[in-house]
Amino acid sequence: MIRMPDRRRLAGFAAAFVAVCVWAGWIPMTRLAISARLTPEDVVALRYGVPGLLLAPYLVLRWRQVPWRRWGLLVALIVGAGAPYQLLFGHGLAVANSGQAAVLGPGLVSPLVVMLAMLFLGERPAPTRFAGLAVTLAGVGVVLAHDIAHGHSHLVGFGLIVCASFLWAMYTTASRALGLNPFVNASLVAVVNALIYLPIYLACGGAARLAALPAGDLWLQGLYQGVLTAIVALAAFAFAVGRLGAAAAASVMPLSPVLVAVFGWFLLRDRIDVPTAWGLVAIGAGVLVANSRAKPGAGARAR
């Protein structure tokens, strides 16, 4: 019979896996949109406009569950998973292919989360997690070194994705510190970003751009960006962070690069070069090492 603490961790890892699967499809889906007729700004509008509309009534009902006095953490939460993150990553995807974005996005988030969780939450990851993160960073280094050795052709796009990864690490750490209900978490991110971003987007002619797009593209991106990514995956990841801790939940994130590369090849025929392949292998190995022989309390907040 599974003990309650083990059940909690199992549920946390299951939720993290759901989030990873959805986000693994998000990178090639966003590249598909950008390589067609949508701009990163259009994608961001769908990402927050759809869930902002759907979740606004829920947030109104749960308004008192938001710790408004902890405004610094709330800003980190809303910005880290908000429009700035999406715009940076979206413009980075205009340069980097799916495999490269997977290495520099989900692959880099785990080390950044561990650093922030240690500094601000007092979390002390197990030694195996540090070893796994070192392997993960080696995979990131392979991709960066290859581009530097061949003329820096993608470094600007890579830099945008790295900045986006840091914002996501901020979100993960703030999510752990606040401990919000997962759907309050997702609602707060979606509604506040929609209220801030959409008026600017519409004032710049966004409505006309969306109206000119094929209905099928709008429905596909609206469903994936606005429902699966912004509601289902975000709530699942917030649940995982609450059950496992920021560092442990983020350690599962690098599993997505391999799926991203597969989806990118299937949807976009994105080529996986040798350095990117080595980076993906290193990140996958880092996940296995980071989660091997982990004790039940590993990654929990120090007391």
Is residue 31 included in any domain, yes or no?
yes
Q: Rounded to a whole number, what is the distance in angstroms from the first to the last CA of the chain?
A: 29
Is residue 21 included in any domain, yes or no?
yes
With vertex at residue 87, the alpha carbon angle to CA 19 and CA 83, rounded to the nearest 5 degrees, is 70
Is residue 266 included in any domain, yes or no?
yes
- Which pLDDT score, from 0 to 100, does residue 292 have? 65
Is residue 298 included in any domain, yes or no?
no
Q: In 3-state terms, what secondary structure has residue 140?
A: helix
- Which pLDDT score, from 0 to 100, does residue 1 have? 47
- Which pLDDT score, from 0 to 100, does residue 66 have? 95
Is residue 275 included in any domain, yes or no?
yes
3 burial via Cβ count (<10 Å: 0-12, 13-18, 19+)? exposed
- Which pLDDT score, from 0 to 100, does residue 301 have? 38
**pLDDT means over runs of 10, the chain (303 residues):** 66 87 85 83 94 95 94 96 94 81 79 84 79 82 80 78 93 91 92 97 92 86 91 87 77 70 73 81 76 48 34
Q: How far, in Å, CA of 233 to CA of 255, rounded?
A: 15
Is residue 300 included in any domain, yes or no?
no
Closest-CA residue to 185 (of 237, 109, 247): 237
- Which pLDDT score, from 0 to 100, does residue 151 have? 67
Q: How far, in Å, CA of 146 to CA of 162, rounded?
A: 16
pTM of the model: 0.79
- Which pLDDT score, from 0 to 100, does residue 35 have? 75
- Which pLDDT score, from 0 to 100, does residue 291 have? 62
- Which pLDDT score, from 0 to 100, does residue 100 have? 80
- Which pLDDT score, from 0 to 100, does residue 85 have? 95
Is residue 302 included in any domain, yes or no?
no
* Most distant CA pair in the chain, distance: 59
- Which pLDDT score, from 0 to 100, does residue 152 have? 61
Q: For residue 150, give its domain range.
A: 4-290
> Domain tally for the chain?
1
- Which pLDDT score, from 0 to 100, does residue 293 have? 53
Compute CA distances 216 → 33, 212, 221, 241, 254, whole Å: 12, 12, 9, 35, 31
Which phi-psi region, left, alpha or beta, contains residue 200 (left: φ > 0; alpha: ψ -120 to 50)?
alpha
- Which pLDDT score, from 0 to 100, does residue 50 have? 94
- Which pLDDT score, from 0 to 100, does residue 129 have? 77
Is residue 104 included in any domain, yes or no?
yes
